[in-house]
Amino acid sequence: MIPESFPPACAIAFKEWAGVCDALAQGRQSLILRKGGIAEDAGVFRPEHSSFWLYPTHLHEVQQGLRDDGPPTSARAVPPGMLELPALVQVECLVWVDDVDRLDAVSELHVWTAETVLKRFAYRKPGLWVLGVRVFRAEPPPRIVVTPEQTGCKSWVPLGDPVGTDTLIPTLDDRTLDHRLERIRALAGADRGAF
pLDDT tens sequence for the chain (195 residues): 566 667 789 999 999 999 999 999 999 999 999 885 444 455 555 567 889 999 998 765 555 688 866 655 556 778 888 999 999 999 999 899 999 999 999 999 999 999 999 999 998 889 998 999 999 999 999 999 999 888 887 888 999 899 999 889 999 999 999 999 999 999 987 445 455
* C-alpha to C-alpha distance for 61 and 78, rounded to whole angstroms: 20
pLDDT of 109 reads 95
SS3 state at 128: strand
User: Which pLDDT score is estimated for 182?
Assistant: 97
CA-closest candidate to residue 154, choices 4, 75, 1, 49: 49
Q: Which pLDDT score, from 0 to 100, does residue 41 have?
A: 54
Would residue 175 be called left, alpha or beta, if left means φ above 0 and alpha means ψ between -120 and 50 degrees?
A: alpha
Provide the whole-model pTM.
0.86
pLDDT of residue 155: 82
Instruction: Tell me if 42 sits within 8 A of 189, measured CB to CB.
Output: no
For residue 131, what are the contacts with CB-CB under 8 A and spacing of at least 6? Answer: 31, 32, 33, 34, 47, 91, 93, 94
CA of residue 135 relative to chain centroid, distance: 9
The confidence score (pLDDT) of residue 39 equals 45
Determine the Cα angle at 108 with ends 28 and 55, to 5°: 45
